[in-house]
Amino acid sequence: MKEKGLLIVISGPSGTGKGTVCKAILDKNDFWISVSATTRSPRVGEIEGKSYYFLAKEEFVSKINNDDFLEYAEVYGNFYGTPKSKVLEMIEQGRDVILEIDIQGALKVKDNYPEGVFIFILPPSMVELKNRITKRGTETPESLMTRFKSAYKEINYVSKYNYAVVNDNVDDAVRKIESIVSAERCRVDRMKETIFDCKEGLMHEQLYD
Ligand code: 5GP
């Protein structure tokens, strides 16, 4: 029998580069990334069903009422949610699943799915974080300040996570996350099927020959 896949939750404040890190991980690994639903409008270049599922507020609320989300949260005035059934299906099939979500959402997943692997992406420093949010150029001055202030508070939630990875350099951050995932796969409590298969097939007599 196959082991279940891992639920790898990658989060951190806005501007830490978690999106870039996740993209780089997916380029090199056979992970399955969950596509979130959101009520935010698409940005230039974003693709329906690939970047997000873009929903009207009423559609999103109806999905909440149907219990369709593993978690959802309001982030900067828009709703974001992780579609539940596909994620759980992939894990059951043995695929490792990545969620790239905000901190409120990650903490909700931790309550409902504590066996997940919770990784917090830290910026090298708050000064660097501010530079990165500014350079991105997608924010108005007000929303930039909002994002920066909440990022400053959010850093405190790192203590709720299993791992923290500083994103100083994307390749290094990716290597560290790959190492975390390899180690997590070798945890004895995740290897019940493998250990069972290892012992199976041996005749009782063979033990005492
Ligand atoms: P953006 O609007 O820049 O794409 O994303 C804003 C924030 O929402 C980011 O921190 C991103 O990680 C987070 N986010 C994206 N999808 C989800 C989701 O499904 N659930 C939660 N809780 N946060 C999400």
Q: Is the pLDDT of residue 140 over 80?
A: yes
Q: Both 62 and 143 in a single domain?
A: no
Q: pTM, whole model, 2 decimals? A: 0.92
**Parallel, antiparallel or unpaired: strands 7-11 and 163-166:** unpaired
Is the domain of 81 the same as that of 16?
A: no
Mean pLDDT of 66-86: 96
> Residue 82 sits in a domain of what CATH number?
3.30.63.10
Q: Give the pLDDT of residue 209.
A: 63
Q: Are residues 138 and 49 both part of a single domain?
A: no
> Most distant CA pair in the chain: distance in Å?
78
Residues of the domain holding 167: 1-31+96-209
In this structure, are 72 and 113 located in the same domain? no
Nearest to 134 by CA among 153, 147, 150, 121: 147
Is there a single domain that holds both residue 59 and residue 108? no
How many domains would you assign to the chain?
A: 2
> What is residue 61's predicted lDDT score, i.e. its pLDDT?
98
69 C-beta closer than 6 A to ligand 1: no
Fill in the amino acid letter for 63: K
User: What integer pLDDT is reported at residue 115 of this predicted model?
Assistant: 96
Q: Do 61 and 22 fall into the same domain? A: no
Asked if residue 107 and residue 13 are part of one domain, the reply reads: yes
d(CA 18, CA 170): 9
- Which residue is closest in CA terms to ligand 1's atom 17? 101
128 & 205 share domain? yes
Q: Does 145 lie in the same domain as 182?
A: yes
Domain boundary among 94, 122, 144: 94
101 lines ligand 1 (CB under 6 A): yes
Is the confidence at residue 205, as pLDDT, over 70? no
Antiparallel, parallel or unpaired: β 78-83 and 37-38 = antiparallel
Distances (CA, A) of 97 to 25, 36, 65, 135, 199: 12, 13, 24, 30, 28
Is there a single domain that holds both residue 154 and residue 101?
Answer: yes
**Confidence class for position 137, pLDDT limits 50, 70, 90:** confident
CA of 7 to the centre of ligand 1 (A): 17
pLDDT of 12 reads 95
Q: Give the pair of three-digit tokens for residue 198.
A: 């290892």
Q: Is 105 in the pocket of ligand 1 (CB under 6 A)?
A: yes
Nearest alpha-carbon partner for 12 in 172, 97, 115, 133:
133
**End of a domain among 53, 69, 94?**
94
In the prediction, which pLDDT does 173 show? 98
Tokens standing for residue 50: 């690939």
Share of the chain above pLDDT 90, in %: 79
154 and 51 within one domain: no
Average pLDDT of every residue of the chain:
93
pLDDT recorded at residue 204:
63
The model's pLDDT over 153-194, given as tens digits with 9 standing for 90+, comes to: 999 999 999 999 999 999 999 999 999 999 999 999 999 999
Whether the predicted pLDDT of 52 surpasses 70: yes
φ and ψ of 22, to 5 deg: -60, -45
Q: Which of 82, 89, 51, 50 is nearest to 68 (CA)?
A: 82
Determine whether the shortest distance from the Cβ of 16 to ligand 1 is under 6 A.
no
Residue 2: per-residue pLDDT: 86
Q: What is the DSSP letter of 188?
A: G
Write the pLDDT tens digit of every residue in 10-42: 999 988 999 999 999 999 999 999 999 999 999
Q: Per-residue pLDDT for 97 more than 90? A: yes
Select from 49, 78, 94 the last residue of a domain. Answer: 94
Reply yes or no on whether the pLDDT at 68 is more than 90.
Answer: yes
CATH code where residue 182 lies: 3.40.50.300
172 and 193 together in one domain: yes
CA distance 112 to 127: 34
